[in-house]
Amino acid sequence: MQSNLIRAGNRLAEIMPSQVGAEATITRIGTINTVYDTGGYWTADVDMSGGTLMGLQMTTDCVGARAGDRCVVETYAKVAIVTGILARPGCGCSPLFEWSSTWSGTPGTEPKSGYLEKTATVTCGGLILCEVAAAISGTGEYSMAFDFLDANGERKAYWCSTSPQKNGGTLRWVASGSVRLPYGSYTVKLTTFHWGTVSIVGNDSSGNSLRWRDASLGVEGVSRYARLRMA
């Protein structure tokens, strides 16, 4: 960590105007290139107008920072620290993880561990928002779960939500929650479960659509979906 700060200070001295006093506090704007978890500390490489500063520590205000974020870099005595996030390009537009299905019907008997619907590798950290939805009918319950595994296959977080228990009729079920993770690369597994005679449906008994539609799910809509986003 100390070596990273020294490198950052040396590089900063090269790209900053020489007339600026060493004891002055300087505030500049940069773009985060890469984020690291360095021994429990948040650090980042930041692209500035005159070059890239390597291994800058970040304050707690920067939890959830990621590559591409515009950030505030404050420098004192030639040591720079990232103190805030100004803007995030495309925020809310591109989920870290997304799955959807147009299938309708009654699920078969699944394994004890449930149906594995999707596996993906994502790089993320901080507060991760989980969102799931399903249009269901019949009697019973329906569940969807996210499992977060590190490079060694060890579970680092788990989030699961179960629909209210039903006794007939149809339900357009949506649930959301969050997990908090250190910044890094994770294998994410989405699993679904059901109990009873619950079916996945696209329409209610009157023929009205129960599907979800948006820019990524399409105009025809889907009967189930799951998403992850960084907060």
Alpha carbon dihedral 108, 114, 115, 116, in 10-degree steps, equals -170
What single DSSP character describes residue 2?
Answer: H
Q: What average pLDDT does range 82-98 have in this prediction?
A: 78
Residue with the bigger pLDDT between 111 and 53: it is 53
The pLDDT, as a whole number, for residue 213 is: 94
Q: Is the pLDDT of residue 12 over 50?
A: no
Q: What is the distance between the alpha carbons of residues 8 and 46, in angstroms, rounded to a whole number?
A: 10
Token digits of residue 29: 């704007």
Eight-state DSSP code of residue 207: S
- From CA 45, how far away is CA 33, in angstroms rounded? 5
How confident is residue 216, by pLDDT bands cut at 50, 70 and 90? Answer: confident
**Above 50 in pLDDT, residue 122?**
yes
d(CA 4, CA 14): 16
pLDDT tier at 17, thresholds 50, 70, 90: very low
> Any idea what DSSP says for residue 161?
E
> For residue 5, which of 62, 53, 69 has the smallest C-alpha distance?
53
Dihedrals phi, psi of 4, to nearest 5 degrees: -65, -45
Mean pLDDT rounded to a whole number for the chain: 85
Q: Is 223 helix (H, G, I), strand (E, B) or coil?
A: coil
Based on the number of CB atoms within 10 Å of its own CB, is 151 exposed (0-12), middle (13-18) or buried (19 or more)? exposed
pLDDT at 93: 55
Cβ-based neighbour number of residue 216 at 10 Å: 13
pLDDT in tens, 27-86: 999 989 888 887 778 899 999 988 899 999 999 888 778 888 889 999 988 889 999 988
pLDDT of residue 36: 86
Name which CATH class applies to 2-87.
mainly beta
What's the whole-number mean pLDDT along residues 153-171?
94
> Is the per-residue pLDDT at 222 higher than 70?
yes
pLDDT of residue 89: 63
> CB–CB of 200/143 below 8 Å?
no
DSSP string, 16-44: S-TTS-TT-EEEEEEEEEEEEEETTEEEE
All structural domains of the chain with their residue ranges:
2-87, 97-230
Query: What are the tokens at 190?
Result: 């989405």
Share of the chain above pLDDT 90, in %: 53
| pLDDT value for 60 | 85
CATH class name, domain 97-230: mainly beta
Q: What is the pLDDT of residues 166-214, one digit of tens each?
A: 898 899 999 999 998 877 889 999 999 999 999 999 998 888 899 999 8
